[in-house]
Amino acid sequence: MLILVGLLVVIVAGWIVLGPLILPPADPGATQTGLDGRWTRTPDDPLATTLALSGPNYTIDGALGFAGSGSAARDGDELVLAEDAACPEGPGRYAIELADVDRAGLLPEHRAQTMTLTLVSDGCLARAAAMEGATWVLRASGRDGVHGICDPPNEEAAVTGHWPEPSGCS
């Protein structure tokens, strides 16, 4: 028993000493946007401009002629996009307005989330043109209780495929 306790103490002490050297440091400046998912400006077009938000990161590409990626953060009611190699001019700030849209006549509790971004400031004109001025529709979420137009309405529909899947989702 004494050997097991000693071994446990060595393992814990080793983890405390070596853990910070092995694991990457947490970024204290990284904040979640609460908007994770794939968003599109034109949901019926599979080649549409897509904004992917995942934790503190974003990527945008598609039909509008701008592609970029960098960090994303939420500052109150604003989305802040920064550290994008395609936009050395600095961060862009956009006011966020969330709403929802009917998902092909499904039940009201299965409405898809939409997001309108209004330009606050962005020195990167190409990013500003791609981001601002349209309603983004959530395609796929993965967040509890938040649905995209491509998310099935329930588990049975996901397994059987018996639901009116919107065009551009396959």
Look at residues 91, 87, 141 and name the one whose alpha carbon lies nearest to residue 114: 141
Chain-wide mean pLDDT for the chain?
75
**Per-block average pLDDT, block size 10, for the chain (170 residues)?**
76 60 43 76 66 89 84 90 90 89 58 86 90 78 66 70 63
pTM score over 0.85: no
How many residues make up the chain in this entry? 170
Evaluated on CA atoms 152, 154, 157, 162, the torsion sign reads: negative
Give the domain ranges of the chain: 37-160
pLDDT digits (tens, 9 = 90+) for 2-49: 887 777 777 766 656 555 555 444 443 444 677 888 888 765 555 577
By 3-state DSSP, what share of the chain in percent is helix, strand and coil, each rounded to 5? 20, 30, 45
Indicate the DSSP class of residue 111.
Answer: P
**The predicted structure's pLDDT at residue 92:** 92
